[in-house]
Amino acid sequence: MESKKPSKNKPSGGVSRRELVAAGAVAAAAALPLAKTAKAQRRVTPGGTGEIRVLLVTKGHPFDRANFFEMFDSLGDTITWTHVEHPAATEFWNPELAKDYDVFVYYDMAGRGGRNADGTPIDIEPTPKMKQNLAALLRQGKGMVFFHHALASWVHTWPEYIEIMGGAADWGRTIKNVHGKEYPFSGYRPNTREHITVEPGEESHPVVAGLTDGFDIVDETYLAPMLEDHVHPLLRTDFVPTTKEFEIGLRREPNWNHPPGSNMTAWYKAAENSPIVYIQHGHDDVAWSNANFRLLMENAIRWTASKEGLAWAKANPAKIFK
């Protein structure tokens, strides 16, 4: 885990939470291999020096670590980031440990445990402790940003998590628990040229500040269930996500017929008393290097960390957990 800036917050006993993690008091965090951030040509401020404290969560999908972390380094005047991988990441849903962070940013695919000897996938069930901690954290109010393949986290074992994000994806298996509906495996389409525009009526939202003229991006796009009636759309693509546009899925299964998808590429919502943003963009460095994507990510982090974002969620709560 890369820990970039000591916190002034102290739990009882006078030892900082960051020191507890470093000392191995959080068992899962202690078991986490140290993630070494490689150098990148565009590196600006390693780890950042900004006031917004970000916990950056990964694992479950390979990625270009050097350029990925450089993208967050480029936001260094705004954020200071700390990186943690699963399974340790869920320890930080404990509201006491979460006090060290203003925003959780997810680029993970959690809830997956490899395969059995017969090749069938292993799904990880969230523990009662995980559910209890996350529910408590969201009720307390904690900004969260999910992007790209994070939409595939916990989709087979934790329906409430789908509600938190506002959508679901799985590019290899049927998804059976999305608002009582069953969806065939999701589609993905690499290197798609898209023109992105702001949702009418949301031009003044802080997450799209500086993006109201629209922008172009080349990225991987999805055909997957997105709960458009339960979120507030922010961005849309001119790409029309229908089965015929996703050749990879059709090559795998000629009779594959996924329902037409939403063209939303970013939205915001509340989960309990917490502001949530999902951004579909962000597959690789082609997207991460796009100045508009970086601005979008910075805006999302700023808003979910802000008093205004937290106040909005508290005024518009969405009950997720019983």
Q: What is the mean pLDDT of residues 273-286?
A: 98
Q: What is the dihedral of CA 229, 299, 59, 55, to 10 degrees?
A: -120
Helices 307-315, 291-305: crossing angle, 10 deg rounding: 60
- Mean predicted lDDT score pLDDT of the chain: 89
Which position has the token pair 């997105």?
226
> Which domains does the chain show, CATH number per domain?
17-315 (3.40.50.880)
| Strand, coil or helix: 244 | helix
Region label for 139, one of left (φ > 0), alpha (ψ between -120 and 50) or beta (otherwise): alpha
280, 90, 168, 58 alpha-carbon torsion, rounded to 10°: 40
Partner residues linked to 143 by β-bridges? 103
pLDDT of amino acid 30: 38
For residue range 9-50, list pLDDT tens digits in order: 433 344 333 333 333 333 344 333 333 333 344 445 579 999
Mean pLDDT of 64-81: 96
Q: DSSP secondary-structure letter at 262?
A: P
Lowest mean pLDDT among 3-7, 66-70, 191-195, 280-284: 3-7
Question: How far apart are alpha carbons 151 and 167 in whole angstroms?
Answer: 6
pTM for the model stands at 0.87
* Proportion of the chain above pLDDT 70, given as a percent: 86
DSSP-assigned states of every residue in 93-133: GSHHHHTT-SEEEEEE--SEEEE-TTSPEEEPPPPHHHHHH
CA angle (59 as vertex; 141, 310 as ends), nearest 5: 15
